[in-house]
Amino acid sequence: MTARHVGQARSRVEGRLKVTGQARYAAEYDAPDLLHGCLVPSRIARGRIASIDAAAALAIAGVVRVFTHADRGDVARFDFRWRDMVAPPGSPFRPLQSHEIQFADQPVALVVAETWEAARDAAALVEVTYEQAAHRTDLHQEVDNAYRPPRKRFGVPRPPKPRGDVDKAFAAEPFKLRARYGLPPQHHNPMEMFATTCVWEGDGRLTLYDKTQGATNVRSYIAKVFGLKKKNVRVVSAYVGGAFGVGLRPQANAFCAVMASLALKRSVRVCLSRREMFTTGYRPDTLHTIGLSCDSQGRLRSVTHDGVAATSRHEDYQENLVNWSGLLYRSDSVRLDYRLAKLDTCTPCDMRAPGAASGVNALECAIDELAFAAGIDPLEFRRRNYAERDANDDKPFTSKSLEACYAAAADAFDWRRRGLAPRSMREGGELVGWGMASGAWDAMTMLSNARVILKADASLLVETAASDIGTGTYTILAQIAADALGLPMEAVTVRLGDTDLPWAPVEGGSWTAASSGTAVTRACDDIRATLLRHARRMTGSPLADAKLDDVVFDGGRIARRGEPARGVGLGEAMRTAQVERIEGKGRAWPPVLRMMKYASYAQSAVFAEVRVDEELGVVRVTRVVCATAAGRILNPKTARSQILGGIAMGIGMALHEETVTDHRLGRVVNHNFADYHVPANADVGDIEVIFVDEHDAKTSPIGVKGLGEIGIVGAAAAVANAIFHATGKRVRDFPITIDKLLNTAEVA
């Protein structure tokens, strides 16, 4: 393959469609006689519905029907049919199926009307009375009831077996730390809110335009729940306005739109409001008790990490929260524990780097604290404890370029100018602090299919059901396909997010570049072989005896390697063979053998500078340098955007983001962008993104590790550690807000 595009910075191929409003999102599709649905939220967090009076709502002009649990349709009875591809163990929430209330703002009715305005007005008039029961929504109150999940969630490893004598190693060493870190619940808050436009196609066929990270997941869920044939359900999610994990599971809007559509035999759209977005899943609040000890040389001797995470009463949501503490640094004595605590909330769900964002954050703060206690520079401390193997699974890494990340980022940041003592750097009225952390995220490849079609006009169509949630999938697949066949990127059209296309899993886990990229590469290989066969058969072909290894595909031609004149055009070969199209199929498999022998992670080092107003406690993150090693970088431009987004989210995690529940009511009180704070442009200073090149043929067939999630891992800890360096105050309860910095009782 001649790499003309792969590895080069390329703008998003769908960028123009997006900025000109031509890329349509789920709520923007229209249908004749479209009905609009609006949900009615529960006012209590736990209990049951005593009665629903919809008379006033039905009296509004244009209201067609009010659905409640009393008149639910013919749906699946057993949990397994309600469980989508990424569901954790338990009983999935079933919208409008029972009088039981499981969480505040749970939908209790769906008003369907001829207009959105009528539906919304009428929804406010639905009278619901409740029998309230006591709810529990405060994780801090439930720690004593925490339990080890009886059933494991697929794909989430359990904590490794303890190793070494942790208690002895803790007691014996001169420097130690035991501390508790807390992270509040966070919500993903993607720009695009959940919406489903369910188009009634007649003959029992439905097309769902749905905001989702997994069109195939929504299709199989809808088919199972409603007892429909998969071929009668098409799900389209061609463009997704951000998701960050909340779009992995089908949401109530999809269920409700289909339910109403089947009952009324009409097209129905159901959109969620920003407030309702707070009922769709969240990054669980977590508490981390971490114990570390090191010897006088700063060698880590023991690590304990006890994580407690929120889940709902009905499902055991799980993520890899604590295992990172057993593999990021070398230590002979490690004991990790992971427990869940049930709350009366909706089920938490994956949010960018689920588990790692929270668990590594706590660990990286603790490492900073221990390094300080031992009087060692935090970067030097990490270098002394560099792990050459994954000690949890006792496997080597396919590649680990963390040391190169440390070196590159520290150099760009000018870390050597840092003084060890807190409050030692000052500029104007501000305290300046420098902090750092490292991050890691799994490199995964999932079963994925792709189809590529070459036409005689030398245009290429690339198709897979995978979605592009804003990460750049359209663009990297166009780059890969263009290079594989030696065509310009303009010749390539990529179609994604549609169950009519070859099956792919949810876009998540940072695995899509490796998975769909591999499937597309193999589909192109398929075409290359067919093309060469045609070219060889041409009369007087200069390629008559050529093998695939002898030729290059470049400039729309196949030619002998090093002899560009000795070749034929792709179109010419196809016309001579009298074929109008060549179809290639490709499939990526999880690299099972590799996974048995090697561990593979993307790695990062992130350095942050903060300036803290000493009197007001206001923190500004003025500078971040992040170096990431994530295998082969297909497109430095979209890759950089992923890291920028991850770091911005990390800044939010450090300073702003917190879903606040009034535990007396069991309700989220800041379910809007005025009160739920995310970083705005002014909160994000200079960010320098560095990629450390890795040539890792083992990690995935195309050498890609993926980088949608690694950017957030460690970013909040780097900021927190910088705040400690600036102020001498260690705040272990995130986010680090002004009140906590000014409150001297919180001083470490």
Which residues are marked as active site? 709
End-to-end alpha-carbon separation of the chain, Å? Answer: 56
The owner of tokens 């980088």 is 707
Dist. CA 536–CA 451, nearest whole Å: 24
Dist. CA 649–CA 655, nearest whole Å: 10
Cβ neighbours, 10 Å, residue 300 = 26
For residues 605-634, which are near ligand MOS according to CB under 6 A? none
Rounded least distance, CB 614 to ligand MOS, Å: 37
Q: How does 380-399 read in b/e, with b if 16+ C-beta sit within 10 Å?
A: ebbbbbebeebbbeebebbb
Among 508, 591, 646, 735, binds ligand MOS (CB under 6 A): 508
Stretch in the footprint of ligand MOS (CB under 6 A) among 17-25, 305-313, 348-356, 653-661: 348-356
For ligand MOS, the closer of residues 282 and 329 by Cβ is 282
For ligand MOS, the closer of residues 248 and 558 by Cβ is 248
Q: Contact 18/82 with Cβ under 8 angstroms?
A: no
Rounded least distance, CB 646 to ligand MOS, Å: 11
Spatial CA neighbour of 304 closest among 320, 328, 288: 288
Dist. CA 412–CA 49, nearest whole Å: 60
213 touching ligand MOS, by CB under 6 A:
yes
Stretch in the footprint of ligand MOS (CB under 6 A) among 46-54, 58-66, 129-137, 345-353: 345-353
350 touching ligand MOS, by CB under 6 A:
yes
For ligand MOS, the closer of residues 34 and 446 by Cβ is 446
For ligand MOS, the closer of residues 467 and 727 by Cβ is 467
351 touching ligand MOS, by CB under 6 A:
yes
Among 88, 355, 509, 617, binds ligand MOS (CB under 6 A): 509
298 touching ligand MOS, by CB under 6 A:
no
Tokens at 523, concatenated: 């589909």
Q: Contact 306/98 with Cβ under 8 angstroms?
A: no
245 touching ligand MOS, by CB under 6 A:
yes
Stretch in the footprint of ligand MOS (CB under 6 A) among 69-77, 170-178, 244-252, 427-435: 244-252
Rounded least distance, CB 511 to ligand MOS, Å: 8
DSSP code per residue over 188-233: ---SSPPEEEEEEEETTEEEEEE--S-HHHHHHHHHHHHT--GGGE
Rounded least distance, CB 506 to ligand MOS, Å: 7
Give the count of residues interacting with ligand MOS (CB under 6 A). Answer: 10
DSSP tag of 723: H
For ligand MOS, the closer of residues 147 and 154 by Cβ is 154
Spatial CA neighbour of 331 closest among 354, 310, 303, 357: 303
Spatial CA neighbour of 340 closest among 149, 156, 161: 149
For ligand MOS, the closer of residues 42 and 471 by Cβ is 471
Among 248, 268, 322, 454, binds ligand MOS (CB under 6 A): 248
Cβ neighbours, 10 Å, residue 231 = 11
Dist. CA 456–CA 570, nearest whole Å: 7
For ligand MOS, the closer of residues 302 and 600 by Cβ is 600
Tokens at 28, concatenated: 């923007």
Rounded least distance, CB 446 to ligand MOS, Å: 11
Rounded least distance, CB 213 to ligand MOS, Å: 6
Hey, is 49 helix, strand or coil? strand
Rounded least distance, CB 354 to ligand MOS, Å: 5
Q: Contact 258/198 with Cβ under 8 angstroms?
A: yes
Site string (81-100) toward ligand MOS, x via CB under 6 A: --------------------
Among 88, 354, 486, 735, binds ligand MOS (CB under 6 A): 354
Which spans of this chain sit near ligand MOS (rule: CB under 6 A)? Answer: 213, 244-245, 248, 350-352, 354, 508-509
